[in-house]
Structure 1
């Protein structure tokens, strides 16, 4: 993926953040963490339900929202999990560059 002329390997950045930061997985976790004001960025799978994404974005305009081109199964694999993940909430990015992702949901 291209961001400002640089190519970011999202899978590598997710693994880096898992090891050095704090991430939460799933829609319910995202809703709860956003409500507490803990989330800096939410990453959605390409097949995450549109109504969920729009509702979360409307309730929390201060959060960075990014939709990846990976489907939920691929996002789960990228996070090193044996299950599908539709939503990743970044609480602390650690040594990753996840917070430099552009907001791409209108």
Structure 2
């Protein structure tokens, strides 16, 4: 299973929070198992996400695609700059990235 498929399976079968604002809110609470950010996310958001993820000891994976590609990978008709995987469901994404 490749990373893209792992993300899609997690979105379809697990519990995933989409969007950088909601991701940062959950990171501040220490919730989540893995953060995935798009390669073109604004630098200030990237720094915030990495900072709060480090405080909560949650790994951050930078997806090679843009936020548009990450959005379509998640099956959404909008851009997704960041997502937080709380429960991977049937996905093996945590083993692939961790």
Q: TM-score, normalised by structure 1?
A: 0.81
Q: Residue deviations 1:26-60, cap 9 Å, x none?
A: 11110111112211111001101122222222233
1:96 is the counterpart of 2:88: no
Distance 2:96 2:45 in 1: 20
SS of 2:91's equivalent in the other structure is: coil
Question: Which structure has more helix as a fraction of its residues?
Answer: 2
SS of 1:89's equivalent in the other structure is: strand
Distance 1:93 1:18 in 2: 8
RMSD: 1.5
The structure with higher relative contact order (CA 8 Å, sep 6+) is 2
Question: Structure 2: which 5+ residue stretches go unaligned?
Answer: none
Distance 1:37 1:58 in 2: 12
Q: Residue deviations 1:38-92, cap 9 Å, x none?
A: 1111100110112222222223310110001110110011000011111011010
Stretches of 4+ aligned residues off by more than 2 angstroms: 8-11, 100-103
Q: How many residue pairs align between the two structures?
A: 96
Q: TM-score, normalised by structure 2?
A: 0.87
Larger of the two Rg values belongs to structure: 1
